[in-house]
Chain A
């Protein structure tokens, strides 16, 4: 996999989310992603960035255009230095939430992208990486 472009965007307040979403849209449009796939990617990003604000106290997002076997895609990495997730397997289950949400955030986001990876260490923070390929299903 090759990284074609990369940039960083810090997320500290809720208003930063709007800018972040717009930037993803620009990247996805640039590689010619279909509207439905764009919507899925941005929705997944929206879920993850909310988690980052709510549980991780904000953090840094990395936005990248990547390419594998000459198929382009958008990769987003969410890094926070919050308390971390105690039980990742449990957090990935539908309907599980420590807050008062629907508990669809993490598992839902995973269903909306092609590749999903989560690493969390108690007390050190959480890193989530997602990729959506241009024409991936």
Chain B
């Protein structure tokens, strides 16, 4: 069965979607990705959709699900490279993906993830400090 590869880069997981998704493929990706987060204890998930020409409500929901599920497992999700036409269509459709972080490209997405993780570390330190 067709599968979308997931790459591990340090504390991050990287997914580049190169094909147009159909529902089952998207569901498989959701499944694989969440299992990977759990297995590798990844701190961040980066999904590159710059090659995707269609995102409908189902695919939008999958992206939102991945973000929410990762968040429960303490990982930040960032979706990068959404095409202008896709963004305009999603807004018209009524989907704003409010729980999902976005960035223009992989580079900026990585930067965002690093920022978020740095912040987390600091927050935890602060928590520790106030503890003692």
Contact = CB atoms under 8 A, between A and B. Distances in A.
Interface in B65-100: 83-86, 88-89, 92-95
Contacts of A39: 53-54, 83, 85-86, 88-89
Contacts, number: 67
Interface in A54-105: 94, 101-102, 104-105
Contacts of B94: 94, 104, 107-108, 111
Interface residues of A, number: 24
B61 interface: yes
Nearest to B83: A39
B92 A46 contact: no
A42 B55 CA distance: 10
A46 B93 contact: no
22 contacts: A14-B23, A17-B22, A18-B20, A18-B22, A21-B20, A39-B53, A42-B53, A43-B54, A43-B55, A43-B89, A43-B93, A47-B58, A102-B61, A102-B95, A104-B57, A104-B93, A104-B95, A108-B93, A108-B95, A111-B93, A111-B94, A112-B92
Interface of B: 20, 22-24, 53-58, 60-61, 83-86, 88-89, 92-95
